[in-house]
Structure 1
């Protein structure tokens, strides 16, 4: 069986070098250290300078040639290298165990095995999310209340405008009725003046009639005396005068009755108009008072709605300010937690890579041990 050679390059903790070179075609090379970094196995052609970290006092650049026939010397060198190799393996296993303990402790403190820490962060995040959602719901409710107050304010404004128009209409009606009442009073005064004038005219007519009648009587008396002396037909003239007097009295009485009836009808009509105007004025005054009362009530409600709206807007601004501050604070906490989580993941990945390197070192060392055993068994 062909003999093989191995080259070991110094690692982190193994600083001893021992060169071994064979005259065969290929040689295996293993480099490593107790720190567990940089282990590799390679092949080298004949005559390549190889070194081992398991020698005792030899320089890695020195080349030693072992003859093929000197098996005792070769076995001695192999035994020395194997002893140094086994010592290095024990050191590496011890360092590997220490690293495994450190990795386990680190994983127990910060690694994925500590799920409660992440769940604590998740619980905090869920709590923050629920608070944010509650704030959003509160803002939505305040916005709804603000919209309702705005709609109520608009309704009150529409009602107030309608009541104002009704108020103006009622005031116009009252002014019109007052003007009608004034016109009616003027007409009544004119009618009263006409009645007084007619009464005076009636009195004048009566006086004139009495004067005329007295004159006629005087004339009749004089004529009767003359007739009694000269003409016996004076009785017929007296009868004619009496008939004329009765006729004029009937005409005067009829005119007086007609004038009285017309006067009474005018007075009744004026009184009816005055009564109607007074009733309408009272109704308009009552309606105006009711409209003023409703206007005052609506104005009070409008002021209350405006005050409520202003209060809700101030509350909304305060809540939005506090909400923004809380969100900013929660964002800072989330960013810090994300940074910690990223750092933990990076540490876990680094530990995983180191652990993988140690496993690779172990596998390569086991392969090297198996190769030496095969060489020993073959020798």
Structure 2
């Protein structure tokens, strides 16, 4: 019986050692797997941090380029608004000048028409007609009119 007990105890002990060895092996495998997974995660973290830093640097460079571009466009826009204001001023001056020239042209055209009418009247007088002529048009700014009465005098020349 002692031998049986000893044998049972040895079997139980071996079985417990084998169970513990199995647990140790499983735990070792799990630990190794966990360490490998941890190393993989650390490597992924380093890769992601490197990507993040690269993207952050690119973002800063792009932001700087955007700021520079906005600055240039603001300057160009300011210059163009200045040019527009200058051209609008010139356009106003040209309009005023054109208005003055138009008024002067209209005045000269009215004077020309009066003079042509007067020339026609004098031409008629010189051709020897005896008529009453009325000169002037309703468009004159002074509103004056003139009546000319002529008579024809004939002379005989003795030879």
Q: Smaller-chain TM-score range?
A: 0.7 to 0.9
Does residue 287 of structure 1 match 2:37? yes
Match of 1:262 among 6, 9, 12: 12
Q: Distance in 1 between matches of 2:89 and 2:99?
A: 15
Q: Distance in 1 between matches of 2:119 and 2:19?
A: 142
How far is 1:371 from its partner? 3.8
Does residue 369 of structure 1 match 2:119? yes
Residue 46 of structure 2 is matched in structure 1 by 296
Q: Distance in 2 between matches of 1:328 and 1:252?
A: 109
Q: Distance in 2 between matches of 1:328 and 1:317?
A: 16
Runs of 4+ that moved beyond 6 A:
none
Does residue 359 of structure 1 match 2:109? yes
Residue 341 of structure 1 is matched in structure 2 by 91
Q: Where in structure 2 are the equivalents of 1:311-326 lying within 5 Å?
A: 311-326=61-76
Q: Distance in 2 between matches of 1:366 and 1:292?
A: 106
Aligned length: 129
Does residue 306 of structure 1 match 2:53? no
Does residue 277 of structure 1 match 2:12? no
Q: Pick the structure with greater CA Rg.
A: 1
Q: Where in structure 2 are the equivalents of 1:1-80 lying within 5 Å?
A: none
Kindly indicate whether structure 1 or structure 2 has the higher relative contact order, using CA contacts under 8 Å at least 6 residues apart: 1
Q: Where in structure 2 are the equivalents of 1:70-149 lying within 5 Å?
A: none
Q: Distance in 1 between matches of 2:42 and 2:67?
A: 37
Q: For each residue in 1:336-358, what CA deviation from the matched residue of structure 2 results, as whole angstroms up to 9, or x when unmatched?
A: 12222222232222222211211
Q: Distance in 1 between matches of 2:116 and 2:75?
A: 61
How far is 1:313 from its partner? 1.2
Q: Where in structure 2 are the equivalents of 1:196-211 lying within 5 Å?
A: none
Q: Distance in 1 between matches of 2:95 and 2:19?
A: 108
How far is 1:272 from its partner? 0.1
Q: For each residue in 1:50-95, what CA deviation from the matched residue of structure 2 results, as whole angstroms up to 9, or x when unmatched?
A: xxxxxxxxxxxxxxxxxxxxxxxxxxxxxxxxxxxxxxxxxxxxxx
How far is 1:305 from its partner? 1.1
Does residue 350 of structure 1 match 2:100? yes
Q: Distance in 1 between matches of 2:6 and 2:76?
A: 102
Residue 71 of structure 1 is matched in structure 2 by none
Q: Distance in 2 between matches of 1:272 and 1:260?
A: 18
Alignment RMSD, CA only? 1.6
How far is 1:277 from its partner? 0.3
How far is 1:264 from its partner? 0.6
Q: Distance in 2 between matches of 1:323 and 1:354?
A: 46
| SS of the residue 2:118 aligns to | helix
Q: Distance in 1 between matches of 2:9 and 2:21?
A: 18
Identify unmatched segments of 5+ residues in structure 1.
1-250
